[in-house]
Amino acid sequence: MIIVKVGGSAGIDYDAVCADIAALWKEGQRLVLVHGGSGETNRVSEALGHPPRFVTSPSGYTSRFTDRETLEIFEMVYCGKMNKGIVERLQRLGVNAVGLSGLDGRIFEGRHKDSVRAVENGKVKVLRGDHTGTVEKVNTGLIELLLNAGYLPVLTPPASSYEGVAINVDGDRASAALAVALRAEALLLLSNVPGLLRAFPDESSLIREIPAGDVESYLEFAQDRMKKKVLGAAEAVQGGVGRVVFGDARQAQPVRAALGGAGTVVA
């Protein structure tokens, strides 16, 4: 079993990702695809007159402040445009894909965090009305039901809170929770960079290997959203996933390349 997570940043080649996934699936590889949609959500939010608001926590993690209106735009893009775009590509390639959010069947479940601590103008503020959280539970039964019946699951945030409220969760960490729950041998986190760069954005500074026991010490090289990938990788390998690869989704055969060890390999 492998989990492939493809991000939502500019430059990602979804046609190449889907072609590669379809070929692997037809070869008999059991896999689940998870995707993001942050770039498109930013664009649509601007167009709808509700521009995105990013907040940085005192410990340096950046996240999208998700009020109710933002959550609804987020759902339109992630569960609508992005999810159905990927499912359609796979269907055209002859793969019977089923697109679901974490809310459906409570595939991803976690605690709702209503308030977030954010640093703004050098001061720490508490912002309320946030619809965010972290995945703590995965409904593996539903995923296995689909896989055993021959369907390829295509999953996306949001998740469901324990009270049944939609919450925005980080896709990389949700994928890590999924990989742990399904005892995956590999988790591939594909984005628009060659991997974790020691000196971002210098692509020649690619870190090729990270020892599984030492992932957190590499957090210092990651800025903003890359931090969540490093954190997700740590959670996955600590949870028993064989290896995590940060791979590049801007090229042909991005899944095979990452499986072959191109990018940053955490093991």
- Is 64 annotated in a binding site? The answer is yes
Q: Is 184 in the site for ligand ADP (CB under 6 A)?
A: no
Q: Give min distance, CB of 196 to ligand ADP, in A.
A: 5
Please give the Cα distance from 242 to 226 (Å, whole number).
21
- Other CB atoms within a 10 A radius of the CB of residue 229 amount to 27
User: Please, which residue, 64 or 131, has the CB nearer to ligand ADP?
Assistant: 64
Q: Give the residue with the Cβ less far from ligand ADP, 146 or 186.
A: 186
* Cα-based distances in Å from 23 to 94, 189, 256: 10, 19, 10
- Give the integer Cα–Cα distance in Å for 266 and 78: 28
Of the candidate residues 53, 200, 238, 261, the single one contacting ligand ADP (CB under 6 A): 200
By CB under 6 A, residue 176 contacts ligand ADP? no
Q: Identify which of residues 65 and 162 has a Cβ nearer to ligand ADP in the complex.
A: 65
Query: Applying CB under 6 A, which part among 101-109, 138-146, 160-168, 189-197 lies near ligand ADP?
Result: 189-197
C-alpha torsion 87→89→90→92, nearest 10: 120
Between CA 43 and CA 52 the distance in angstroms is 9
Three-class SS of residue 127?
Answer: strand
Q: Are 91 and 148 in contact (CB under 8 A)?
A: no
- Near ligand ADP by CB under 6 A: residue from 1, 3, 4, 8: 8
Q: Does 243 bind ligand ADP (CB under 6 A)?
A: no
Nearer to ligand ADP, 107 or 193 (CB): 193
